[in-house]
Structure 1
Amino acid sequence: MLYLASQSPRRRQLLEQLGADFVVIDVEVPEQREPGESPQDYVSRVALEKARAGLKALGGATDARVLGADTEVVLDDEVFGKPRDAEDAVVMLRRLSSKTHAVISAVWLVEANRERSEISVSQVRFATLDDATIAAYVATGEPFGKAGAYAIQGRGASLIEHLDGSYSGVMGLPVFETARLLRGFDAWP
C-alpha cells in the first residue's frame, strides 16, 4: 500500500495525476536547517524525515510504502521557507524580483527495508516586480503556505519570466522523478 506523508493538496493532485492509488497520512516534522547544512541536503533530509515519520505512524507495516517530499526556494544559499505574514511575503518577493533562484524538490520512498530518493533542481527567473505588482499578488492570499511566497500553478505564474527544469517540481512534487521511484519499488506501472 502506498501512503503520502504530506498535507499539501498540490502533492496529492500531482500523485493523482500519475494514477497512483494512495492514502494520505499527516505527519509533523520540524523544518529547521542545521548549521552548515547545504540547501539540497536540508531539503532531502526533511523529505526523508517525513517519509520515515509516516512509516513509523503506520507501525512499520511490512506492506507499507511511504512517500515523503519537500520543496524549497533557494537564493544565494539562503532557503526561503513559507512566509510568516504579508510583510514577510513582500520581503521575499522583492528579493526574488529580477533574479534567478533554485527550487529544490526532494522525494523519498521508504518501506521497512528499503529507502530511495530523487532530487529535482529547477532554475526560476522572476521578472522585475514593482511594489504595486507585489502588493496586488500578496493581497490575493496565494503566497501563504508556499515556499518563496509564490505558486507557479496559480497567479504566481505571471511573475515568472523563465523556468529551466521541472514545472511539477516547482509545484512541490517532481512527477518524472516520483514515477521513477515508484517504478523502482514496483508501486506503479
Structure 2
Amino acid sequence: MPNPQSTQRLILASASPRRAELLRQIGVPFAVAATSVEERRGADESPRDYVLRLAQEKSRAGLAQAHSQRDVWSLGADTLGVVDDQILEKPHDFADFSRMMRLMSGREHSVLTALCLSGAGAEFSEVVETRVRFRALDRALIEGYWHTGEPQDKAGGYGIQGMGALLVASIRGSYSNVVGLPLETLAEFLERAGIAYWQTGMKLGVSSP
C-alpha cells in the first residue's frame, strides 16, 4: 500500500455518484472535475476502443483543469454494456430501455469499464470486462423496473448495486467493474502513482479540483 503520508492529490473526472462512493469506500480523498467530452462512437471503433478513448479524454480533460497544481493525478472512467456487438449506454426512453432489456434477458452480456489515470508525465489505462447473466425478463418485470426510476441514468439501463440486482442471475469477474469502477485495477494504478488509499480521518470528497 502507498505511504499514508502521500501528498498526491486525485481528481475524479466524472460526475458519477457511484464512482465517487467507490473512492470513498476505499479511503481515497479526491476532488471532482466537471468535464465535457462528446460521447460519440467512431464509425470503425470497437466497443473496447470507444470506451477506452472516452476514459482517456475525460482523464486528460480533468488534468487540464488542474494545470497549475503539482502532484495531481486525474482519473477518467467510462462504462458501457455490450451484447451481440451492440453498445448499451444510458437508455433514451422506455422504448430504448425495453429493447436493451429484451436483448439481455436470459443470457450473458459484457460490461466494459475503461480506466485512465493521468499525471506526473505518465498515464495508466486499461479496459476491464465482466460477464453478467440476466434472469429471463418478462414485460411486467421490465416495466416495473423502469418505473422505479433507477434505469434512466445507468449504462446498460440497470444498477447492479441497487434495485437492478434482482435482474441478475450471476456474474463472472469484477463486481465493482459493473458498478462503474473496477477497484482491483484501480488499486494497482494508485500504487504506481503513489496515491494512498485506506486513508482515515480525512475529508474524502470535495466539489472541485
Deviation of 1:77 after TM superposition, in Å, equals 1.2
Determine the structure 2 residue equivalent to 1:90: 98
2:82 maps to 1:80 = no
Displacement after TM superposition at 1:62 (Å):
3.4
Matched with 2:77 is: 69
**Pairs within 5 Å for 1:5-154:** 5-59=13-67, 61-154=69-162
Alignment check: 8 A CA contact 1:61 1:112 kept: no
1:181 Cα offset (Å): 0.4
Whether the aligned pair in 2 keeps the contact of 1:118 and 1:181 (CA below 8 Å) is no
Range that drifts further, 58-67 or 39-48: 58-67
Q: Distance in 1 between matches of 2:95 and 2:68?
A: 42
Could you tell me which runs of 5 or more consecutive residues in structure 1 were left unpaired when the two chains were aligned: none
Alpha-carbon distance, 1:59 to partner: 2.6
Q: State the one-letter code of the partner of 1:10.
A: R
Normalised by the size of structure 1, how large is the TM-score? 0.96
Check whether the contact 1:66–1:111 (CA below 8 A) recurs between aligned residues.
Answer: yes
The one-letter code matched in structure 2 to 1:123 is: R
Q: For 2:21 and 2:96, locate their aligned partners in 1 and report how far apart those are by CA, in whole Å.
A: 27
Q: How many angstroms apart in 1 are the aligned matches of 2:131 and 2:117? A: 24
CA offsets, 1:118-170, max 9 Å, x none?
32100001111000000000010110110110000011111111100111000
Rounded Cα–Cα distance in structure 2 between residues aligned with 1:72 and 1:51: 17
Q: Equivalent of 1:160, from 168, 186, 190? A: 168
Q: Which has more radius of gyration?
A: 2
The answer for unaligned runs of 5 or more in structure 2 is: 1-8, 198-209
Aligned partner of 2:168: which letter? Answer: I
- What is the deviation of 1:21? 1.1
How high is the TM-score relative to the length of structure 2?
Answer: 0.87
Give the match for residue 5 of structure 2.
none
* Aligned-partner Cα distance in 2 for 1:163–1:67: 25
Query: Do the aligned partners of 1:62 and 1:111 also contact (CA within 8 Å) in 2?
Result: no
Is the CA contact 1:104–1:169 (under 8 Å) kept in the aligned structure 2?
Answer: yes
- What's the Cα RMSD here? 1.1
- Matched residue SS, 2:152: coil
> 1:109 Cα deviation (Å)?
0.3
Q: CA deviation at 1:188?
A: 2.0
Aligned-pair identity (%): 46
Of residues 190, 194, 200, the one that matches 1:182 is 190
